[in-house]
Every structure is written in structure tokens, then in C-alpha cells.
Amino acid sequence: MKDIIVTIFLLGGLFFFMVGTLGIIRFPDVFTRAHSASKCDTLGAILCLSSLVMLEGLNLVSLKIILILVFVWIASPTATHLIAKAEYTRLASLAKINGVKKHEDI
């Protein structure tokens, strides 16, 4: 019973990693790629690490894995948000330098 649940969670995490990687390759823009990478960071990592916690049982090692899980869950969307904000600021300052008044065909 435990093996079945661990297998389902681990394969679900690998599925989300695959989907996120596919989005990083196929999407046309920085911001859409950030959206796809955020899926890959949160859901894939959370499913894989919780399956490893279930495989280990409750001891000190699984507590360390839960610590990694909470840290990744907080830090990874923050990093993706900072990258998207940095790219937006860069594009805005680029438009300001070149004198762009209005955008066409976005």
C-alpha cells in the first residue's frame, strides 16, 4: 500500500517536471516561460519530496527533507517573481531610452 502511494506521487512529480520543461522549451516569451518554470518548481518538487518523506517514515532525515520542502516552496516562487520583475524593469528602461511612446503588435 505504501509502495503504491509513493509510486503515484513520484510519477506525478516527474510528470510535472516534464510538463514544465516542455513549457520552457516551447513558450515564446520570458514571462510565459517563467509561468511554466514556476509550475515545475512548486508542484513537481513538492510531489517528489513528499513521496520521499512517505518512503522514509518519520525520523530525523524526513524532518530535514520537510525543511527542504518548506524552503523550496517559499523560495522558488520568490526567485521566479524577482526574475520576471527584473526583466520587466529592463524592458521598461529599454523603451524609455529609445523613446517608445506606444507599443504595437504585442
CB of 102 to another protein, least distance (A): 18
Residues at the contact surface with another protein, assessed by CB under 8 A: 3, 6-7, 10, 13-14, 17-18, 20-21, 24-25, 30, 33-34, 37, 40-41, 44-45, 48-49, 52, 55-56, 61, 64-65, 67-68, 71-72, 75-76, 78-80, 82-87, 89-90, 93-94, 96-97
CB of 65 to another protein, least distance (A): 6
**CB-nearer residue toward another protein: 97 or 104:** 97
**CB-nearer residue toward another protein: 58 or 85:** 85
DSSP string, 77-97: HHHHHHHHHHHHHHHHHHHHH
Question: Is the Cβ–Cβ distance between 54 and 13 less than 8 Å?
Answer: no
